[in-house]
Structure 1
């Protein structure tokens, strides 16, 4: 397939490398001229395997409608507003791969005629440089259809799935995203506020308690079973105990976080009191405010 990937961050680079490994023709669309030049010159390297894949990099503004058979949108949720104009008046299926759930209503309001697929990735990835990505944890890609031709989802699954790129099809996009959101809603902001690795929400008894209280509130809003989700959070924290969450890294590097699409979404959906959710949300917003110099 001719696959376009919008976004040259960690997930975009990882998806490009894993799909190029299968022999698909990959074009990655980036924002910066420097990244475009680096990828076209050096190829895309995935560590720790140190494999190099020749992929084509273009600036997003150079993208021509109809060139790709499939497009993966791998930018962060708050960057989507700048991307939507490149998805209108086109026919290719689009896979949106964002954390959180705040973007789903936005996508629905666009009234796109494309087949729209939502996806969540269980892979771990850290961008090392403009053309190098570190694959920190293998996982699977979960996909569910939001709108359009459901038979295309089955076809895409058959074309993309492999031993190194497992895919699971979900019948219900809401619960698929909610199951990912609960992980991001607890582990990411707690580790970002307290600047700790993921495992400390288990080993530190105070963070353990705070994380559990936060999990309970988020589960209540999403109508998920608390104990089941808490076990999943503990499992992820254990398996990634030495890792830094993406929000932790965003705060360290003084970048905008995805808190609005994660806990911001939970607050919008709630009709009740969420004291721990509000505390954690406002704490991340305070950190962002500080390093923006406001």
Structure 2
């Protein structure tokens, strides 16, 4: 299968490497510099003191994508609109999978003309080392669900499921995105503001109380789809105890965060339901303030 991947970040490289084992993969990068390196060196996935390199094609994201059979869009949500505007021939691709955090991009999908649209959440830990190397810091799952179109197209991706790169097909896209949104909304802003690894949220009783209070406020707006959602949040903190959240890494490296796609969505939902929030706006303003401090370099 000819698979295109928009985005040369940690998730884009991770997917490119694993999917290149059985498919013809092209990475559409933001810069020609990265594309050139990928063409010459391929994608290297490092994990548990092992290193495997996979050959891929690469070009810039402004080039035509019409030759692909399956497109994976793995960019941050805050640049998604810009990317979609650049891809003039995206509608010629039969199947597109979106892998964004948050749920702010859902309304835009109805405007797309692609026959099959899939939505996914990624639970893997991945850290981009350089333009061609990614560290697979933790094996999780990729959960995929049909937004509209042909379910058989989703099955094509699920066939790539392996023990090191599990892919699951789910029946309800809203359920998987809602669960991921709650996890991200609880863990990411607190770790970014306190500048702590995920595990400290459960090992430090004061941070734990803050996490619990934030969770209760968020689920008053975004209702969990399972009864054990709090347990899932705590388990993720424990299983990724030594990991830094993506938002913390963005803060440390002076990048823009996805707080608008995550907490911003919660705040907008609360306004729509005429609910008053306290902790969520405080955290939102705190993270935006850090971005605006002069560290954010675009």
TM range, normalised to the smaller chain? over 0.9
Contact 2:91 2:112 in 1 (8 A): no
- 1:284 counterpart residue number: 287
In structure 2, the CA distance between the partners of 1:58 and 1:198, relative to structure 1 (3 Å rule), is same
TM-score computed with the length of structure 2 as normaliser: 0.93
Task: Say whether 1:273 aligns with 2:272.
Answer: no
In structure 2, the CA distance between the partners of 1:111 and 1:68, relative to structure 1 (3 Å rule), is closer
Q: If each structure's helix is expressed as a fraction of its own residues, which one has the higher value?
A: 1
| Deviation (angstroms), 1:165 | 2.6
- 2:138 counterpart residue number: 137
The answer for unaligned runs of 5 or more in structure 2 is none
- 1:30 counterpart residue number: 29
In structure 2, the CA distance between the partners of 1:207 and 1:45, relative to structure 1 (3 Å rule), is same
Q: How far apart in 2 are the matches of 1:122 and 1:134?
A: 14
Contact 2:16 2:25 in 1 (8 A): yes
| Deviation (angstroms), 1:122 | 1.1
- 1:100 counterpart residue number: 102
- 2:119 counterpart residue number: 118
After TM superposition, the structure 1 stretch with the greater mean CA deviation from structure 2, 190-199 or 219-228, is: 219-228
1:147-226 matches, cutoff 5 A: 147-158=148-159, 160-224=160-224
| Deviation (angstroms), 1:161 | 2.3
| Deviation (angstroms), 1:135 | 0.1
Q: How far apart in 2 are the matches of 1:92 and 1:157?
A: 17
Q: How far apart in 2 are the matches of 1:41 and 1:117?
A: 31
Count how many residue pairs are aligned between Structure 1 and Structure 2: 290
| Deviation (angstroms), 1:239 | 0.9
Q: How far apart in 2 are the matches of 1:153 and 1:127?
A: 27
The answer for unaligned runs of 5 or more in structure 1 is none
| Deviation (angstroms), 1:282 | 1.1
1:247-266 matches, cutoff 5 A: 247-266=247-266
Contact 1:216 1:226 in 2 (8 A): no
- 2:40 counterpart residue number: 41
- 1:69 counterpart residue number: 69
1:8-23 matches, cutoff 5 A: 8-21=8-21, 23=22
